[in-house]
Structure 1
Amino acid sequence: FAFGSFALVIYSIYHSHVRFYLFRYSRERDGPMRPAGVRLYDQLFHTICILYVYGGVSLIQNCQRDTSDEAMAEALAEEPSEDLLQTAAATNTCEATCPVLYHATDLYVATLELFALSLILPLLCLPCIYLWILNRASGESDTLAQISEELQNSRNQPVTVQELMDVLEPVKLVGTSLEDATVVRLDVDEDDSKSAEANVATNPPKECCICMSEFPLSDEEMGLVSSYQRETTEADTVVRTQCGHLFHKKCLGGWIGGRWASSERADTRRARRTCCPLCRQELKQ
């Protein structure tokens, strides 16, 4: 049995090489689909491994007693005593009958227990490892956000939010009703050079590209705000940048703004972004 154990261990290492030599089959080259001969060969090898384990267990259980066991049995038949019974029980164990095989099996079981313990311990510690990864990832993300904000602030000019908002020009959109559609244009002074350039351009957009909600329109004939925006609030105020793009004043203020302390005044806050959301041109030149 010991020789068979040694031979089986050696063959298990070179099983794939022997299979390739006999059938010219390689899993890396031919894929996972095995031919019929390869499947039968693998099943035969697995059957031998199972029979080997079963043979070892049977050998441990059916160890024949040596001559000392027979002599002890005759002594018990003539004059049984408590000491002899204890001695007989001690010599009738697997450790006494097959000590080499018993210790080998004991070592094998201990190795399996250590291997199983190495697999179970990471599973038991998995929640702690998961929490550690989450804490580290959140800390790194906060650090990266702070570094990115500091780099962007260092690139931007020291300009406050109020300075950028003062540069923006409030405008009003006027809609002219036609047969099929409504033509939207800016209600600006034609004498202004910036306004003239804006009017030469294509029709202004009808919605803010930040919040995607429509701008309030004034009817050119009636002089009233359209039905969906009858009350113009600060959030509905339309402003135009120096590059000619239109936004809601509140939306553009949110784009310009960044993180500040709650005790810091709005007019002294440093702008986080100083460019247009669309063309990235500087809002204050």
Structure 2
Amino acid sequence: MTQSMEDFITDAFEQNYERIRLETGRAVTPNIKEAAREQVLLYYRRMRDVADGVTDTEVKLTLPEQRTPQQRKFTLEGVVDIVREGDRTTMYDVKTHLDADAAAGQLDQYVQQLNLYAHIWQGLRGEALDETAIIATRPTRELRQALRSGDDRVIDAAILKWRPCLNIPLDEHAVEDTVQRFGTVVDRIEERHFMPPAVEKLKAPIRPGARQPFGTAVCANCDVRFTCDSYRQFRLQTTPGMNPERVLQDAMNEYAASSEQGQWVDANMETLNRDRLPDAEDIDRGDV
């Protein structure tokens, strides 16, 4: 039964990818696509009970007519999954860009976010809620190492050890502070006030006792890191003895290796050629 379901998931993944490719006109490299497919299958293998038990999927939550400290109007929105088991209701928020280790280091912000969602669910919708949690579906470093080993026993053991679900405590008092924090961010965006964290913040561990610094765990996922002075200084200060230009070039190359860049171009050229309208030569050749 599990294998047939995984075959179904793989087929559905391919269909969804093709639909998105056609809608957006964009493709991803084969290795990125394979990593995404693998992440979906790992999530099902480890969180099958939750996946099978979802009763309301991609529920949109909206908190309208909020005001920033500068009295600008804004609306907060979120999307969650709901599992109802007997008389208990659990809210899950899936985080595909995080692994459990990174999520644990940023748990405070998810406490705020999930409690806000709980407030909307319980207060505005009038629905009972017993607990909330986030599911960080990106494989941890330990799980990735197991996958690279190719040993089924090692992989199975790593999957069993993997804990992608992190429970979030319910705290109604966190809601007002969360809305205010969002409002402050809205004001900063509207006023074009974008200040990066200090370099010291980037060099500090993502959480107490962790080896991975904030600049690697968080900033490496930021699309504008190459225009950030703090990130450039972080790379220079954490790579001593190397030519500064070489350090920054290596950082740029991490965005996509040359082989990945070539694959990305090939994939998108294939999409472009496949989806383009026929020209006069096509019509003459009878290719339409």
Provide TM-score, normalisation by structure 1: 0.20
Which structure has the bigger radius of gyration? Answer: 1
